[in-house]
Structure 1
Amino acid sequence: MFEKLQRLGKSFMIPIAVLPIAGIMLGVGAAFTNSLMIETYGLQWLLGEGTILNYILSTMGTIGNVIFGSLPLIFAVGIASGLAMQEKGAAGLSAAIGFVVMHSVIGKVLGFLGHTPATTTADYFLSQGMTVLEAAKQSNVYGYELGMFSVKIGVLGGIIIGIVVAVLTNKYYDKKLPEALSFFSGVRFVPIISVLAASIIGAIIPFIWPYIHLGISTFAEFFGKTGPVGIFFYGFFMRLLNIFGLHHAIYPLFWFTSLGGEMEVAGKLVQGGQNIFFAQLADPNTLRFSPEGTKYFMGGYLPMMFGLPAAALAMYHTADSKKKKMVGGLLFSAALTSFLTGITEPIEFTFLFVAPVLYGIHALLEGLAYAILYALKVAVGVTFSRGIIDFTLFGLIQGNAKTNFIWILILGIPTALIYYYVFKTLILKFNLKTPGRGEEEEVKLYSKKDAMMKDMDIEEVIEALGGRENLAEVDACITRLRVTVKDASKVADDATWKSKLKAKGVFRKGNGVQVVYGALAEILKNEINKVK
C-alpha cells in the first residue's frame, strides 16, 4: 500500500505541474483587468477596455481559467499516463475518452432516473417539501462537466478514471486476441476495454454518488468546525508525509475535491480549496477571498519564506569556522530557493538526514503556522508552492483588503527568530552534524536520494548481483530493480537480499532478476549504471 501511494502521489505531480503557469496567467490577468484596481490608480489609458494590454491580460486570464476548469480531465489523462508502465500515450488517450464516456453515461442514467437540470434545482427540491438546507445540499450533487449534465464528482472522477485506465493498460497492453480480431490486439485493445470500464463506472455512479457526496460534505463540515486545531494537524501531518512523498497523494484531495469544502462563486458551486480561491480570483466581484478556501496551503508561507532560510542561517553560524566559506554558498543557495520558490527539499533533507528531531520540530512549527494564519483569516492563494513569487501574485498584488496578507509579513520575523534560535540551540547542545560540522571533509546539502540511500552500499548491491561482469542490463520500474544477468547462479540468495540489503522481495526467472525496493529502485538503477 505504501508503494502504491507513492506511485499515485508521483502521478499526481504530472497534472499539478501545469498549475503554476495557469495560476500565474490567471493571477496576473485577473489582477490587472480588475476595473476597481484600474479606476483606483487611474490606469484606464493603459489597462482599460479596448487597450492592447487589456486584450493580452484578459486572454491570459481566460487561459488560466480554462485550465483550472478542465482539471478533472487533466487529472484523468495525467494519472493514467503517469501510472502506466507501458504505452503511456495510449493510456492518456484512453483516459480522455473514458472520462467523456463516463460523464455521458452518467447523464443518460440520470435521465432514466428522472433527474434533469429542471428537477435538480434547489427550488424544485424545496417544492418537494425539503428544508432550505436539505434542498441546497441535494441540488449541489448535480451539475455539468464539459457541457454534459452529470454529477459534481469533479477531480475525483478524473482520479478514478485515471487509475482504472492505468490498471487496464498495464494488464492488457500486450493482450492477444483471436486471429479474426488481431487488429484490435495489444495497445489497440486498451481504449476498447477502457470505454467498457468507463461505461460501467458511469452507470454505477448515479446510484452511489449522492450518498458519497453528502458524506464527504458532512465530513468537510465537521473538519471545518475543528477550526485552527484541525488545520494544525493537517499542516503537521502533511509535512511529516513529505518525508515519504506521500503528501502528494493526500493534499490534492483537499485542494481539488469537495473534501476541501464547497462554496458558491459567481453563481456556480466550486469544490476544493484551491479551486475556490482561483474561482474567486477570476470573479471581478470578489471583495474578500475566503480563508476556508486557502486554509489547506497558505500556512506554508511562514516556514518557506522565513523559517527555513533562518534555519539555514543557524546551520551556517554553527558550522566549523574553517568550513563556513564553503558551507555559506551552499546554504545561501538553498535558503534563496526556499524563499523565492518554496522548494525546500535541499534544506529539509539535510537536517532530516543528520538530525530527525529538527525535522519533527519543523513539522510542529509548520502546523502552528497553518493554525495561526487560519485563525487570523489570512487568505493568500498559491499555485504549487509558497515562495515570494506566489506571495507577490496572490497576496501583495491582490491587496490586503482582499487577502489580509499583512499578517504573513508581521509574523515572518518572529517565525525566523524561532527557527533560528531553536535550530542553533539544538545543533550546539546535541552536537548535531549539520553541514560543516564534524570531521568529514565533504560539505554538501543532502537530497531525498541521500536520505533513501542511507546505509546502502552500491558496491554490495552490485556484488549481490554477481559483480559488474555479470550485469547484462540494469533497469527499473516504479518499485522494482530489474536486472538481466549473464549467470543467474552468481546472484545472492533471497536471505542476503532481505537481511543485508533491505530488499522487500526478490523474483527470478531465467537470467532475469527483479528486486523489490519501492521508490529506491530508480535511484539504485541510476547508481549502478554510473559505475558498472
Structure 2
Amino acid sequence: MFEKLQRLGKSFMIPIAILPIAGIFLGVGAAFTNPVMVETYNLGAILGPGTILYYILSAMAAIGSAVFGNLALLFAVGIATGLAVQEKGAAGLSAAISFVIFHTSISTILGFLGYNPETTSVDYFLSQGKNAIEAAKLSNVYGYELGIFTVRIGVLGGIIVGLLVAYLTNRYYDKKMPEALSFFAGVRFVPIVSVLIISIVGAIVPFIWPYIHLGISTFSEFFGRTGPVGIFFYGFFMRILNIFGLHHAIYPLFWFTSLGGELEVAGKLIQGGQNIFFAQLADPTVTKFSAEATKYFTGGFLPMMFGLPAAALAMYRAADDKNKKIVGGLLFSAALTSFLTGITEPIEFTFLFVAPLLYGIHAVLEGLSYAVLYALDVSVGVTFSRGIIDFTLFGLLQGNAKTNYIWILILGIPTALIYYFTFKTLITKLNLKTPGRGEDAENKLYTKKDTLLKDVNIEEVIDALGGRDNLVEVDACITRLRITVKDISKVADKELWTSKLKAKGIFKKGSGVQVIYGAMAEVLKNEINKVR
C-alpha cells in the first residue's frame, strides 16, 4: 500500500508543477481586482475597470482560475499516465475522454430524474417550501464541470476516473481480439473499455453522491455552531476535504448564506460570514469586525502564511544532499504560493500521498489555528484565501482595533516552529519519503537529462540489452526500464548492470527485462527510443 501511495503521489507531480505559478496568478489577480478592495482604498483610477492594470490582473486571475477550475481533469490525466505501466499516452488520452464521458453520463441521468439548472436553483427550492439554508444546501449539490451540468464531486471525480483508466490500461493494453476485430485490439481497446466502464460508473453517481454531499454539509453545520471546539473540527474537517476538493462544496454555505450567521449592518440584514465582513468593511461606522462572521476563514492565516512554508523548509532540509538543488525550486515556489496567496495545493500534494501522516498532523494544526484565533476574537477578512495579500488588505490596513490582527503575527513564529520541527522530526525518524529522500527520490522534479545521464552511456545500455535488433519494446514505469526483447539470452547479467551501468538491479522473465534505475528510468527510456 505504501508503494502504491508513492506511485500515486508521483503521478500528481506533473499537474502539481504548474500549480505554484497558477496560484500566484490567481491570488494576485483576484485580490487586486476585487471590487470591494478597489472601492475601499479608492484605487479605481489605477486598478478600476478600463485601466491597463485591471486588464492585466484580470487576465492573470482568469489564467490561474482556468488551472484550478480544471484540477479534476488534470488529476484524472496525471493519475492515469502516472500509474499506467505501459502505453502512458493512451492512458492519458483515455482519461481525458473518460472524464468528459463521466460527467456527461451523470448529466444525462440527472436529466432523466428531472434535475436541470432550473430545477436545482435556490429559487426553485425556495418555491418548494424549503427554507433559505435548506435551499442553499440542496442547490450546492449541483454545478458544472467543463460546461456540463453535473454534481459537485470535484477532484474526487478526477481521481476515480484516473484510477479506473490506469487499471484498465494496465489490464487491456495488449488485449487480443478476433481477426475481424483486430483493428480494435491492443492499445486501441483501452479508450473503448474505459468509456464503457466510466459510463456505468457515471450513471450510478447521481443516485449516491447527493446524499453524501448533503451528509457532509449537515456534519459541517454542527461544527460551525459549537464554539471554539466546533471550529477546531470545522478547520480540521475542511482541510481533510481539501484532499478531494470537496471543501468547495461546503465553505460557500458558511461564507454566503445564513448558515454562516446573520448580522444587521448599516440598517440591512446581511447573511453569510464573508458577506458580513465586506458589509462591515464598507460601513465607516464599524469599529470592530465580527469574529463570529470571520471564524469560518480567519483560522487559515497561520498555517498558510507560516506553517506550510516552514514545512517546506523542513522537507528541504530533510532531503538528501544530492537532491536538494532539484527539490529546492519546487518547494520554494510552493511555499511562496502559500505565503503570498494562501493557495496550499501545490505544497500539500508534495507530501500528501507519500507521507499521509504529515497531512493528518497538518489538518490537526489547522483546526487548532481556527479554534485559537476565534477564541482570541481575531477577525481578519479574506477575498478567497489567506495569504499575505489578504492579510495586508483586510488586517494590517484595517488596524488592530478592528481586527485583532496582531495575534496572527504573535502566533506566526510559534506556528512556523511547530510545523518545522514536527515535520523535520517525523520525516527523519520515520524515514518518510518526502521530496528528495531515498535512492529513487520518487517525488522530485527531474533535472536536465544530461545531469541524470552523466554516468550512463546509452549505447552501452543498448548493447547490454542485446543490441538494437534485439529490442521489441522499450518502456518505463516509475523506477524501472521495462523492455521486451527477442532473445533473453543476449541480455547482460546482473554484474555488468550494477557495476558499469549503474543500475540497482535487473529481473528477467520470459522475453521481459526490468532494469531498476530509479528516477532515471523514464529518461533512459526516452533516450533509447530516440536512437534505436
Q: Distance in 2 between matches of 1:525 and 1:416?
A: 37
What is the aligned length? 420
TM-score norm. by structure 2 comes to 0.60
Is 2:364 aligned against 1:375? no
Aligned to 1:302: 306
Query: CA contact under 8 A between 1:486 and 1:511: conserved in structure 2?
Result: no
- Offset at residue 157 of structure 1 (A): 1.6
Is 2:391 aligned against 1:395? yes
Query: CA contact under 8 A between 2:98 and 2:195: conserved in structure 1?
Result: yes
Q: What per-residue deviation string (whole Å, max 9, x for no partner) do you get for residues 215-265 of structure 1?
A: 333444466665465479789xx9xxxxxxxxxxx77525x1148734159
Q: Distance in 2 between matches of 1:27 and 1:403?
A: 22
| Closer/same/farther in 2, CA of residues 415 and 148 from structure 1, 3 Å limit | closer
| Closer/same/farther in 2, CA of residues 448 and 148 from structure 1, 3 Å limit | same
SS at match of 1:17: helix
Is 2:243 aligned against 1:253? yes
Q: What per-residue deviation string (whole Å, max 9, x for no partner) do you get for residues 292-330 of structure 1?
A: 4575785254345568879999x9xxxxxxxxxx9xx99
Quick one: percent identity of the two aligned structures? 53
Q: Distance in 2 between matches of 1:420 and 1:148?
A: 43
| Closer/same/farther in 2, CA of residues 114 and 522 from structure 1, 3 Å limit | same
Q: Name the aligned partner's letter for residue 198 of structure 1.
A: I
Q: Name the aligned partner's letter for residue 24 of structure 1.
A: I
Q: For 1:2-401, what aligned pairs fall within 5 Å after superposition? A: 2-39=2-39, 41-128=41-128, 130=130, 133-221=133-221, 227=230, 229-230=232-233, 252-253=242-243, 256-258=245-247, 261-264=250-253, 292=296, 298-299=302-303, 301-304=305-308, 367-368=364-365, 371-372=368-369, 374-377=371-374, 391-396=387-392, 399-400=395-396, 401=398
Aligned to 1:320: none
Coordinate RMSD, CA, aligned: 5.6
| Closer/same/farther in 2, CA of residues 291 and 96 from structure 1, 3 Å limit | farther
Q: Name the aligned partner's letter for residue 121 of structure 1.
A: S
- Offset at residue 68 of structure 1 (A): 2.5
Query: CA contact under 8 A between 1:76 and 1:159: conserved in structure 2?
Result: yes
Query: CA contact under 8 A between 2:298 and 2:370: conserved in structure 1?
Result: no
- Offset at residue 203 of structure 1 (A): 1.5
Query: CA contact under 8 A between 1:302 and 1:369: conserved in structure 2?
Result: no
Query: CA contact under 8 A between 2:235 and 2:299: conserved in structure 1?
Result: no
Q: Distance in 2 between matches of 1:114 and 1:52?
A: 46
SS at match of 2:150: strand
Q: Distance in 2 between matches of 1:107 and 1:311?
A: 42
Q: Name the aligned partner's letter for residue 66 of structure 2.
A: V
Q: Distance in 1 between matches of 2:9 and 2:216?
A: 21
- Offset at residue 151 of structure 1 (A): 1.8
Q: Name the aligned partner's letter for residue 31 of structure 2.
A: A
SS at match of 2:50: coil
Query: CA contact under 8 A between 2:77 and 2:95: conserved in structure 1?
Result: yes
SS at match of 1:149: strand
Aligned to 1:273: none
SS at match of 1:449: coil
Query: CA contact under 8 A between 1:175 and 1:185: conserved in structure 2?
Result: yes
- Offset at residue 159 of structure 1 (A): 1.8
- Offset at residue 376 of structure 1 (A): 0.9
| Closer/same/farther in 2, CA of residues 472 and 60 from structure 1, 3 Å limit | same
Q: Distance in 2 between matches of 1:124 and 1:190?
A: 42
TM-score norm. by structure 1 comes to 0.60
Gaps of 5+ in 1: 239-249, 269-279, 316-325, 344-359, 385-389, 427-431, 434-445, 454-467, 493-501
